[in-house]
Amino acid sequence: MNKIKISAVSYTNTKPFIYGIKHSSILEKIDLSLDIPADCAKKLIENQVDIGLIPVAAIPFVPNAQIISSYCIGSVGAVNSVFIFSDVPVEEIKTVKLDPQSRTSNNLAKVLLKNHFKVEVNFVNDQSATTDAIVLIGDRTFGRKADFKYAYDMGEEWMNFTGLPFMYAAWVANKPIPEDFLKDFDIALGEGIQNIPTVINELSVIEGIDIEDYLLHKLNFELTEEKLKAKDLFLDLVGQL
């Protein structure tokens, strides 16, 4: 049988998933690559892989997209790794530099600034540009709060806006995958979540983030009906931008 090609995000927030996969027999059945979120999505959209842990905003662009796991990258409130960092209060923001690594977080920033904070801003992709605020996600946010006067946690702000949790990334396939593999894959992911304390012990200390609090309390890995509801609402609001 040909190996199933899988692309997963390389951030700390996926370490439990990677632990579960690498301690499961399914490791022998897959080709696993670790990428930034945007590249996970690109590979799945272009059929370079069969399954990807991709930003939610990329799902509509994946041919034959199907969420195939009962786990995801999500939060119920503050997530502590998806931010709008700003040098001015949010009501004074005029320009925002977008993060080149994630479509979802950039669109979440646009949705929140328009609908929650109700400010009109200009968004730029030029990473050398000087702006009032920036969107930053993942491990690159660790220890960065002190660099800015204001830090808006987008998981928390989404909850304030909608009363819902948020799903940042989901396991998505672009073609039918054998049911027995999907079952074993989901079990492996679940084992990784169950072993988060072991994962934490294996990680090096990272300045600026409490890894135990982050993995055990800020992130929420269960794909629930509430998260699916949030996904649909989010994609609808993105379509109105």
Backbone angles phi, psi at 240, to 5 degrees: -95, 0
Per-residue pLDDT of 195-210, as tens digits, reads 999 999 998 888 888 9
Q: Which residues contact 199 (CB under 8 A, 6 or more apart)?
A: 15, 16, 19, 192, 215
**Residue 217: other Cβ atoms inside 10 A:** 14
Query: pLDDT digits over 51-105, tens only?
Result: 999 989 999 999 999 999 999 999 999 999 999 999 999 999 999 999 988 788 9
pTM as predicted = 0.92
Question: What is the CATH number assigned to the segment(s) 4-73+165-239?
Answer: 3.40.190.10
Q: Which residues contact 150 (CB under 8 A, 6 or more apart)?
A: 85, 86, 87, 88, 89, 90, 133
Mean pLDDT value across residues 19-34: 95
Mean pLDDT of 132-137: 95
CATH architecture of structural domain 82-162: 3-Layer(aba) Sandwich (3.40)
Query: Which residues make Cβ contacts (< 8 Å) with residue 103, sequence separation at least 6?
Result: 37, 38, 41, 55, 57, 58
> Looking at residue 1, what is its pLDDT?
57
pLDDT surpasses 80 at 138 = yes
Q: What are the backbone angles phi and psi of residue 61, rounded to the nearest 5°?
A: -95, -5
Q: What is the pLDDT of residue 38?
A: 83
pLDDT, tens only, 163-186: 999 999 999 999 999 999 999 999
The answer for residues whose C-beta is within 8 angstroms of residue 69's C-beta and 6 or more apart is 170, 171, 182, 185, 186, 189, 223
Distance from C-alpha of 200 to C-alpha of 187, rounded to nearest angstrom: 20
State yes or no: pLDDT of 228 exceeds 60. yes
Residue intervals of the chain classified under CATH 3.40.190.10 are: 4-73+165-239, 82-162
Which pLDDT does position 101 carry in this prediction? 82
List the beta bridge partners of residue 219: 75
